[in-house]
A and B are shown apart, each in its own frame.
Chain A
Amino acid sequence: MALSGAVARPPRHDRLPIALVTLAVAAPLLLFILYPLAFILGRSFVTETGLGFANYARMLGNERFLGILANSFAVTLVSTVLAVVLAYLFAYAIQRTAIPWKGFFRLVAIVPLFAPSLVQAQGLVLLFGRNGLINRTFDAGIEIYGYWGIVIAMVLYVFPYAFLILSAALAVADARIYESAEMLGAGGARVFRTVTLPATRYGLAAAIFVCFTLVITDFGNPMVIGADYGVLATEVYNQVIGQANFERGTVIGMILLVPAAIAAFGEKYISARQFAVVGEQSRPLAIQPSPGRDAVFTAVVVAIALAILAIVAIVVFASFVDLWPYRMNLSLRHYAFDVQNGIEPLWNSILIGLMAAAIGVVAITASSYMVEKLKSAASRPLYFVSILPAAVPGMVLGLGYILAFNNPANPVYLIYGTLLIIAICNVYHYHAQAFLISSTSLKQISPTFDEASATLGGSRFDTFRKVTLPLLAPTLVGIAVFFFMRSMVTLSAVIFLITPSTQVAAVSVLLLEDRGATNQAAAFSVCIMAVVVAALLLTHMALRLAGFRNVSLIR
């Protein structure tokens, strides 16, 4: 039966309620995504002599800026390639070889997701910095600050994202194809080149695009480890926060948006093209042990896992050291948080995380239901706005929020400077990913349930409450966790929205690090990681108790 596809015009009696619901769903999307973006875009054209491209022209004629632009691409391209290659090796080892302890290594691969994004730079500085463990112990004279420091930090930062995508791509395989390839006499390398690689090319492309966007928009790592090596993201921060030059910040932000947007839409284009490699008859691949291959891959996986764990370990260690690097005896004093705002930023982060989880679940349920189930003329535009944030660097969104809402004439000004606006900003910053998770689940809820409900006398609301929502619930739990996690670790959008009384933990790490308070910064990072891991464990257990298995909490 070909019942889906064309958008049926809803019957007359349904039109008014649908219009009202559409409005209720569309209004916040427009207000918190499109409006700030439109504002920042408009602002970038404002010059002393009226509207025009003068700001852009001046920026692109500025030699220093062009250097920064080139730096950004140099960092991004190299980090992306390295991260994707390493993640492919790691994912291949997990999915296609017989290495030991797969569950453990899989977990290690995603550890960076639990930490604030700048933890990589933080750890690298502790290990290889001027006062780092290695230089202090061996007097090695390693110079980590600058280009290679940024690249290494970025590779570690985006590694788990690439790993998750590639691992999924490598997980599906049809044993029959591999068998026939071998039967035809193809050797290992040839099978890889002619079968494995083509079958995972969409996953590869998606991983490349995702890493590209993440690297080019990240600013925590280059802030901490970049020294004089400026990139676009740090330049936005320096212009806005350092020199209070909103115009320049805005223009650079818009320039940053272009490659990020191209990569994000490239990724969408690719994943829409993804076809099923596994048919109904295919058999999963049975992995045969092969001592040589397995030994090589075990070595690779162990090396990568060690690098990831070393970063986390050194940060945890530093948080317990009395005064890095002078008094290396252990102490708990950094957990007293007697500096500046004390422990408050951590509580703020947790509160923001909880608010973002609650608001996010409601907002995502509404927008995905609207687009997937209440098909109407508004569905396509709403879909576009819903996934638009994937293309928008967090800094640009945050800057848009300042420009649009830090204005007493705007009603949102009432919550400006509160934790709430930060929570809202996080929800819309990560709207695209959560929206796609939810709409994928909704797509799997067959439309015949809606029809069955209607013929039994159920209104759309009955259907939603008694059927759709219960079926969607496990996914929504995953989405709540996603928002909480991201709120705990994100820096880029919130950096512009914090005030002295709404400081958040991830920003504290950055500021403390900047001030040279290495130990306290480390302690804050450890607390963030502890909270995220605790939240994950609690939710995992709660879901288990409720009888749900196979709910993926880590995205």
Chain B
Amino acid sequence: MTLAIRGVVKRFGALTALDAVDLDIEQGELVCFLGPSGCGKTTLLRVIAGLETADAGAVLLDGADLIATPARLRNFGVVFQSYSLFPNRDAGENIAYGLECRRWAKDRIRARVAEMLQLIGLADHAGKLPSQLSGGQQQRVALARALAVDPALLLLDEPLSALDAKVREGLRFEIRALQQRLGITTIMVTHDQEEALTMADRIVVMRAGRIEQVGTAAELYDHPETRFVAEFVGRINVLPVAPDGGVCGRLMALPEGRLAGRRPALVGIRPEAVRVHAPEAAPAGALGAQLEQAIFLGNLTQLVLRVEGAPEGDPPLLAELHGLRPDGFAPGAPFAVELPPAALRVLEWR
């Protein structure tokens, strides 16, 4: 099953919750929608599920437009943040719900429910009401309920955010393993970076109703295209580029604009890509810098440095060094730094 989203727009009154969203999702992959609160993740998921009608654009499943298909005929499994298990039905009956709606025979339903309970490791809890299950168990039942009907697509809206940290970590792996075993195409909404990085094949970073960038965790980390993505995934030094092309008061070879005539306005460099040297061992062309603060974090040490000759308004430069002990580093101590051109990423063009 491949899903294609084309130019989807959704407005709530004056607010544009989704602003011309385009996205393709491949068979069997797990895609995370990641972004700050209110950026439209849930809305996009609900449009895909058919719980919300888009004002413009199309959602295509294997090329077929879903616009006229109501949620109940889409055959998508949805797991909500609040579990939303039916409180009057026990775990087994909850799992059986979709099968009953599809008018399966009783014995087939029974077999399927048993199989699903086995799958989520709750075979002994079939007769318990949701109120008698823990949060993690409830969310597993919700997952089983969604999967029981063999959905074409699995949609998860922050399925783990109501659980405490320990349960959450365990379930992350469980969901991921299950998803890979069943090979089911899955979309998961989250605003938890770590969750997205550990679970997703690809991450869709959203901001204010738009998709900012799509890619694997490594792609987003190594090649962020905007300041927002760069800062949302990991830490980064954001450095303004002077009109003459200078960074930190020094001219550098910067990548060419994709469009002719465009030049970088902001560049970024990850703290671990900044090379730091003792002043006496400085290679040719290195920048002079003074230490503002050294922060010891165990396996790594962060140095906050002020580069000599950098324009007034520039933020200090953050560098991360592994295995270094900052004993004896006093504020004001001199250093030399290098910003390898290959590690510089353009985050904004002018």
Binding site for B on A (CB under 8 A): 1, 6, 8-9, 11-14, 446, 448-449, 451-459, 462, 466-467, 470-471
Q: Select which of A449, A459, A470, A471 is within 8 A of B72 by beta carbon.
A: A459
In the bound complex, what is the Cα–Cα distance between A318 and B76 (angstroms)? 70
- Cβ-defined partner of A448 (8 Å) among B80, B98, B102: B80
B75 contacts the other chain (CB 8 A): yes
Inter-subunit contact A455/B88 (CB<8 Å): no
Do B86 and A452 touch across chains, with their CB atoms under 8 A apart?
A: yes
Please name all residues of chain B whose beta carbon is closer than 8 Å to the beta carbon of A471 when the two chains form the complex. Answer: 87-88
Where chain A touches its partner, the secondary structure class is helix
Asked whether A456 and B13 contact (CB < 8 A) given A14-B70, A446-B82, A471-B88, the answer is no
Check if B42 is an interface residue, CB within 8 A of chain A.
Answer: yes
Are B70's CB and A455's CB within 8 A? no
Give the CA-CA distance A456 to B50 in the complex, in Å: 12
| Inter-subunit contact B101/A458 (CB<8 Å) | yes
Name 12 extra pairs, CB < 8 A, besides A446-B84, A454-B71, A458-B101. A6-B12, A449-B84, A451-B51, A454-B72, A455-B72, A455-B146, A455-B155, A457-B98, A457-B149, A458-B97, A462-B100, A462-B101
> For the side of the interface on B, what is the size category?
20 to 34
Q: Could you give 11 example pairs across A and B, Cβ below 8 Å?
A: A8-B53, A12-B68, A448-B84, A452-B85, A453-B72, A454-B71, A455-B51, A455-B74, A456-B77, A456-B98, A467-B88
Q: Within the complex, what minimum Cβ distance (angstroms) separates B38 from chain A?
A: 10
Q: How distant is the Cα of A448 from the Cα of B142 in the complex, in angstroms?
A: 13
Are A449 and B86 in contact, with the CB atoms below 8 A? yes
What A residues does B87 contact at CB under 8 A? 471
List chain B residues, Cβ under 8 A from A455.
49-51, 71-72, 74, 76-78, 146, 155
Chain B 79-94 residues near chain A, CB threshold 8 A: 80, 82, 84-89
Do A453 and B49 touch across chains, with their CB atoms under 8 A apart? no
B207 / chain A contacts, CB cutoff of 8 Å: none
Q: Which chain B residues lie closer than 8 Å to A454 at the CB level?
A: 50-51, 70-72
User: How near does chain A come to B254, taking the closest CB pair, in angstroms?
Assistant: 43
B residues with CB within 8 A of A: 12-13, 42, 49-51, 53, 68, 70-78, 80, 82, 84-89, 97-98, 100-102, 145-146, 149, 155
A451 surroundings in chain B (CB, below 8 A): 51, 71, 78, 80, 84
Among B72, B145, B146, residue most surrounded by chain A Cβ atoms (within 10 Å): B72
Most buried by B among A6, A8, A466: A466
Indicate which residue in B42, B70, B76, B149 contacts A13 across the interface (CB closer than 8 Å).
B70
Chain B residue at smallest Cβ distance from A1? B42
Which of B42, B74, B75, B84 gathers the greatest number of chain A CB atoms within 10 Å?
B84
For A467, the chain B residues whose CB sits under 8 A away are 86, 88-89
Of the residues A11, A12, A13, A470, contact of B88 by C-beta under 8 Å: A470
- CB atoms of A452 and B68 under 8 A apart: no
CB-based contact B78/A459 at 8 Å: no
A449 to B77, CA, bound (A): 14
Please tell me if the beta carbons of A457 and B75 are within 8 angstroms of each other in the complex. Answer: yes
B12 to chain A, nearest CB (A): 7
B contact residues around A1 at 8 Å (CB): 42
Q: How many A-B residue pairs have CB under 8 A?
A: 81
A17 to nearest B CB, angstroms? 12
Distance A254 CA – B76 CA, assembled complex (angstroms): 57
Do residues B72 and A458 form an inter-chain contact, with CB atoms below 8 A? yes
Give chain A nearest CB distance to B279 CB in angstroms: 55
- Contact yes or no, A466 B100, CB < 8 A: yes
- Is there an interface contact between A11 and B70, defined as CB atoms closer than 8 Å? yes
Nearest A residue (CB) for B85? A452
How far, in angstroms, from A458 to B70 measured CA to CA in the complex?
Answer: 11
Q: A6-B12, A470-B88 are in contact. Are A452 and B78 (CB under 8 A)?
A: yes
Asked if B101 contacts A456 (CB within 8 A), the reply is yes
* B80 and A456 contact, CB distance less than 8 A: no
Asked if B51 and A457 make an inter-chain contact with CB atoms under 8 angstroms apart, the answer reads no
6 nearest interchain CB pairs? A456-B98, A455-B78, A448-B84, A457-B101, A470-B88, A454-B71
Residues of A within 8 A of B100 (CB): 462, 466
B80 contacts A459, C-beta separation under 8 Å: no
By a CB distance below 8 angstroms, the chain A residues around B86 are: 449, 452-453, 466-467
Q: Report the minimum CB–CB distance from A115 to chain B (whole Å).
A: 37
Query: For B75, what are the chain A residues with a Cβ–Cβ distance below 8 Å?
Result: 457
Compute how far the CA of A351 lies from the CA of B149 in the bound complex, rounded to whole angstroms. Answer: 48
Complex CA gap A455/B89 in Å reads 17
Contacts of A466 in B (CB 8 A): 86, 89, 97, 100
CB of A386 to closest CB in B, whole Å:
26
Contact across chains for B12 and A456 when beta carbons are under 8 A apart: no
In angstroms, how far is the closest chain A Cβ from the Cβ of B97? Answer: 5
Least distance between A59 CB and chain B CB atoms (Å)? 50
Q: Give Cα distance in the complex from A43 to B85, angstroms.
A: 54
Which chain B positions have C-beta within 8 A of A9? 53
Most buried by A among B77, B87, B89, B146: B87
With A and B bound together, what is the CA distance between A455 and B102 in angstroms? Answer: 12
Report A-chain residues with C-beta under 8 Å of the C-beta of B85.
Answer: 452
C-alpha gap A454/B50 in the complex (Å): 9
The interface residues of chain B lying within 8 Å CB-to-CB of A6 are 12-13
User: A409 vs B336: C-alpha distance in the bound complex, in angstroms?
Assistant: 103
Whole-angstrom CA separation of A270 from B224 in the bound complex:
56
Tell me the complex Cα distance, A458–B102, Å. 8
B146: which A residues are within 8 A, CB to CB? Answer: 455-456
From residue B55, how far is it (CB to closest CB) to chain A in Å? 11
Give Cα A446 to B75, complex, Å.
Answer: 22
> Please, which residue of chain B has its CB at the minimum distance from the CB of A12?
B68
Min distance, Cβ A510 to any Cβ of chain B, angstroms? 45
Inter-chain contacts of B82 with A (CB < 8 A): 446, 448
Please, which residues of chain A bring their CB within 8 A of the CB of B145? 456
Cα distance A500–B88 in the bound complex, in angstroms: 48
Cβ–Cβ < 8 Å partners of B71 in chain A: 451, 454-455
Given contacts A448-B80, A459-B72, A470-B88, contact A453 B12 (CB under 8 A): no
Shortest distance in angstroms between B251's beta carbon and chain A's nearest beta carbon? Answer: 50
In the complex formed, the residue of A with least CB distance to B86 is A467
**A468 CB → nearest B CB, Å:** 10
Most interface-central of A11, A14, A451, A452 (chain B CB within 10 A): A452
Contacts of A459 in B (CB 8 A): 72, 101
Min Cβ gap B160→A in Å is 16
B155 neighbours in A (Cβ, 8 Å): 455
Q: Complex formed: what's the CA distance from A462 to B97 in Å?
A: 10
- Whether the Cβ atoms of B51 and A456 lie closer than 8 Å is no
Complex: how many Å from CA A453 to CA B85? 10
Residue of B49, B51, B100 contacting most chain A CB atoms (<10 Å): B51
Q: In the complex, what residue of chain B is closest to A13 when comparing beta carbons?
A: B70
Chain A residues with CB under 8 Å of B51's CB are 451, 454-455
Contact A452 B84 (CB under 8 A): yes
CA of A530 to CA of B73 in the docked complex: distance in angstroms? 54
